[in-house]
Amino acid sequence: MQEKIMEDKTFKITLSQSDQRISYQSIPEENIIESLARQGREVRKACDNGACGVCLTRLYAGEIDYGLREPFGLNQKEREQGYILPCIAHCKTDIEIEAPPAPRPKRNRP
């Protein structure tokens, strides 16, 4: 029964940007980008599998988990500096992260 309670737990994702803090809810089956997108916050991404590093953002507080995925898009220095890849990261606790970059505007081609 204790395991079931833990599985159903939701976590708070707080985005910090300058003096602003905005919080979102995360459910265990969603990665961080999916949780933000479900609540209307779009984030820049490309590969969606932890390989390219485009979604790179800094973890200020809390713990994340990559499960069986490997964050190949992070180099050793970035890991040591607390960067994470939210496209494959799931919350293990409430977290506070740097607001990830927004998607690039679409180009209008002639």
Per-residue CA distances from 59 to 13, 49, 87, 90 (Å): 10, 18, 13, 12
102 belongs to the binding site for ligand FES (CB under 6 A):
no
Which residue number, 46 or 102, has a Cβ lying nearer to ligand FES? 46
Minimum CB distance to ligand FES smaller for 28 or for 53 = 53
Give residues 40-69 in contact with ligand FES (rule: CB under 6 A). 45-48, 50-55
Q: How many helices (H) and strands (E) does the chain have?
A: 3, 7
Among 59, 64, 85, 95, binds ligand FES (CB under 6 A): 85
Q: What does the alpha-carbon distance between residue 94 and residue 88 come to, in Å, rounded to a whole number?
A: 16
State the minimum distance, in angstroms, from the CB of residue 60 to ligand FES.
18
